[in-house]
Amino acid sequence: MMEIKAVIETRIRMKSKNTLCLHRHFPVSLALICSGLSPGQTLLAAEPTVSDLAPLDTITVTANRIEEPIAVQSSSLSVVTEDEIELVSAVHITELLNRVPGVWITRGNGQEHLTAIRSPVLTGAGSCGSFYAAEDGVSVRPIGFCNVNQLFDLNSEQAGRVEVLRGPGTSFHHSDAVHGVINVISLAPAQSSESSVALEAGPYDYGRVKFTTSDSSGRLGYRVSVNGASDGGYQDDSGYDQQKFTARFDYHGANWFSKTLLSGSNLNQETAGYVVGTDAYKDEDLRTTNPNPEAYRDSQAVRWQTHFERSFSDDRTLVITPYARYSDMAFLMHFLPGQPTEENGQRSAGLQSSYRLPLSSELTLTQGIDLELTDAYLKQTQGEDFNWSIPAGKQYDYQVDARMVAAFMTVDYQATERLSFTAGGRYETLAYDYDNRMVSGNTDENGAPCVNVGSGATGCRYTRPEDRKDDFENISVNLGAVYHLSDAFITSGRLTQGFRPPQATELYRLQSGQLIANLDSEQVDSAELAFKGTVGDVSYDVVAYYMEKSNVIFQSSQRENLDNGETRHYGIEYQFFWNFADAWELTAGGALVRHQYTNDVTAPGSSELLHTDGKDMVSAPRRMGSVQLNWEPGSATRVELQWVSMGQYYTDLENLHRYDGHNLLHLRLAHQISDSIGVGLRATNLTDEYYAERADYSGFAGDRYFVGLPRSVFGDVQFNF
């Protein structure tokens, strides 16, 4: 394979006709167009050294694991670059990704969150199992054992960029990529020695320290980045302390390139729960309260990977990436009756591989095998009796060993100078071996039945199945085409399938006497059509998509996990950039969408069949977007005014309760005083609007909210040496 290097890093300030396309905000799908190359041309690296192959001028495409011209990609890709990461200096990752169309990372309390990409905000195991969260292409958690808050494990604060693939993943991604991929790319080693320390302060006793040091010598380069944050919390008895680190080591040999990444995180959080009551987030007395001062979350994670890449003289390329992961977490489940404590952990190791073989100048074949082994455990314990059906003691204690084996193949065909096609397929098997370490059945931890002395009813809330093994086999295919009419108009189309086997907790964490969860893999079929290009000073990227899902896992009225749900998702995503003056830039991105149930389901805790067919899904706004106005009066100063808009959405299955949405303004300023000192100032929620980060409705508690913060001002200073 040619050693292709697609230039997209926009820290290079090119004051030319191509500046528009190398802008930090714009989707990477236009990068090659703006480089001035024709669709058949590529950008080649000169010599295989760290200096000459500086990743500031390259990108590893999330869609294919290997460097390719972005213009040939039919996938919907967006990139948040290093410049944006530094300017936003996000306290929570939602601040960083709210500028990506079709993406909504909802903030819970502290560092907690839920994810939506071409979807509503999903809860439960499906809220993480539908999204592929990755670090340099390797998923953060093992298949089947995701965590809804898994993005807080990633050092996005000091990343080189964040790539987002919207919609089902390609044949290179495993089963969790049903709705999209978030890939945090580590910052590459510098070409020469550099170090910096940044100090940051904000309201509610917030403080953060960031340090990075990097250097390169010949074929070797390294970068070590660490940061630590402490937040006293806006609500009573809340706040967190968090530390993250990333160490990266690169080697550029004559034939081999390797990149080793070691990363980790630690979170100690005092969690605030929902504030309850209609419009409670607007009440000055209620919004700062914490109904669950006893709640907490402690989480630790460490990950390692080494990416080996070998380029051959006949343009073949071999990529092998072994990896290993460790995580442990304990938290109080304040949202459940009895408030049990959950402890879980995973140890996993795996291998990603791909082999790219040009069969001719027009036809390229890429194939590979992925392997993963996981050893995981989960315990759930309650300190005191809650009622007759929820006694004190252990409720779950199990171990699950899992094995994933997958094979994939992709064919790229350059039919003409302007027209290219991609076809791929993936076969994946996932096997669980479940070991129950407690008494099986619908009893307390000692095997005694739960009995209501008044009515004589029996049955504990929690049920433990017998030891068992489960296997899931899935096949997905994807087709794509890209047509370059001109630099002003490029169109692409994509047909994809995705799948998600049930998570371990959906299979083995049963309730209400359910002894076996007969669940099938979720399936999604997706079609999308994109138009992008550059006309004068305006660049655009517009995507229309339609998706249908089957076997969607819902929780039944008996709190059983059932796989009979059906949904559809369709809409338009857009992103525009306008360089209307030398010092002024305007970008806009957003989505107009609809997420609907297409069959009737039952609500948790109710025996009534809800007629949800055709109704909006819970937490599914029909519109959302952001606009950024940037002013750079000089090379040392940058000012950004951002408007973030969230439309209304329903909070219950019957669409009887809703949140009205909100509009927020944020102002950010950065100034480089000298080569050694830089300062920044950020004001979030500039108009001091009352809003909810996320609204929810419970049949037991009613309307409830995670409160959005009032106007907040943050300042930082950075020392470079």
517 — pLDDT class (breaks 50, 70, 90): confident
459 — pLDDT class (breaks 50, 70, 90): confident
Q: What would the two tokens of residue 329 be? A: 């977490």
Dihedral sign for Cα 160, 166, 172, 174, please. positive
Neighbours of 76 (CB within 10 A): 26
Can you say how many angstroms the Cα of residue 424 is from the centroid of all Cα atoms in its chain? 23
What's the confidence (pLDDT) of residue 7?
32
Cα separation of the two ends of the chain? 39
Dihedral sign for Cα 99, 288, 711, 690, please. positive
Closest CA to 214 of 158, 147, 271, 280: 158
| pLDDT more than 90, % of the chain | 74
Neighbours of 171 (CB within 10 A): 26
Q: What would the two tokens of residue 123 be? A: 């809860």
What's the confidence (pLDDT) of residue 653?
85
Contacts of residue 431, Cβ cutoff 8 Å, sequence gap at least 6:
402, 403, 404, 469, 470, 471, 472
Parallel/antiparallel/unpaired status of strands 131-135 and 180-186? parallel
- Strand-pairing partners, residue 522, are 500
Closest CA to 557 of 703, 699, 368: 699
Average pLDDT, rounded, for the chain: 87
pLDDT tens digits for range 5-58: 333 333 222 323 333 333 333 333 333 333 333 333 333 333 333 233 222 233
Whether the CB-CB separation of 260 and 248 falls below 8 Å is answered with yes
More confident residue, 1 or 105: 105
Mean pLDDT for 701-705 is 91
Whole-angstrom distance, CA of residue 503 vs CA of residue 555: 14
630 — pLDDT class (breaks 50, 70, 90): very high
Mean pLDDT for 235-239 is 95
Per DSSP, 188 falls in state P
Whole-angstrom distance, CA of residue 642 vs CA of residue 12: 23
Whether the CB-CB separation of 70 and 8 falls below 8 Å is answered with yes
Dihedral sign for Cα 21, 25, 29, 31, please. positive
Per DSSP, 617 falls in state P
Q: How many residues are there in the chain? A: 721
Amino acid at 516: I
Superfamily of the domain at 28-582+594-720: TonB-dependent receptor, beta-barrel domain (2.40.170.20)
More confident residue, 530 or 40: 530
Q: What would the two tokens of residue 282 be? A: 């607007």
What's the confidence (pLDDT) of residue 71?
64
Q: Phi then psi for 70, rounded to 5 degrees?
A: -65, -30
Closest CA to 111 of 301, 242, 249: 242
What's the confidence (pLDDT) of residue 560?
58
What's the confidence (pLDDT) of residue 59?
59
Whole-angstrom distance, CA of residue 211 vs CA of residue 228: 9
Whole-angstrom distance, CA of residue 129 vs CA of residue 563: 14
In three-state secondary structure terms, 406 is strand
Strands (E) in 173-279, as ranges, are: 180-186, 194-202, 206-217, 220-231, 239-252, 256-270, 275-276
Domain boundaries, the chain: 28-582+594-720
Helices (H) and strands (E) counted in the chain, each on its own, are: 5, 38
Q: CA angle at residue 477 from 475 to 478, to 5 degrees?
A: 155
Q: CA angle at residue 152 from 146 to 158, to 5 degrees?
A: 130
Neighbours of 402 (CB within 10 A): 23
pTM attached to this predicted model: 0.90
Which H helix or E strand runs over 33? helix 31-34
Whether the CB-CB separation of 82 and 161 falls below 8 Å is answered with yes
187 — pLDDT class (breaks 50, 70, 90): very high
Contacts of residue 656, Cβ cutoff 8 Å, sequence gap at least 6:
650
What's the confidence (pLDDT) of residue 403?
98
Can you say how many angstroms the Cα of residue 96 is from the centroid of all Cα atoms in its chain? 11
Question: CB-side exposure of 291: number of CA atoms within 13 Å?
Answer: 16
Whole-angstrom distance, CA of residue 311 vs CA of residue 318: 7
Whole-angstrom distance, CA of residue 589 vs CA of residue 351: 36
Whole-angstrom distance, CA of residue 280 vs CA of residue 288: 10
pLDDT tens digits for range 560-583: 566 678 999 999 999 999 999 999
What's the confidence (pLDDT) of residue 28?
36
pLDDT tens digits for range 631-682: 999 989 999 999 999 999 999 888 999 999 999 999 999 999 999 999 999 9
pLDDT tens digits for range 397-406: 999 999 999 9
Amino acid at 376: A
514 — pLDDT class (breaks 50, 70, 90): confident
Helix ranges (DSSP H) in 50-164 = 82-88, 94-97, 126-129
Closest CA to 132 of 499, 473, 619, 572: 499
In three-state secondary structure terms, 403 is strand
pLDDT tens digits for range 358-387: 999 999 999 999 999 999 999 999 999 999
Q: CA angle at residue 172 from 45 to 482, to 5 degrees?
A: 70
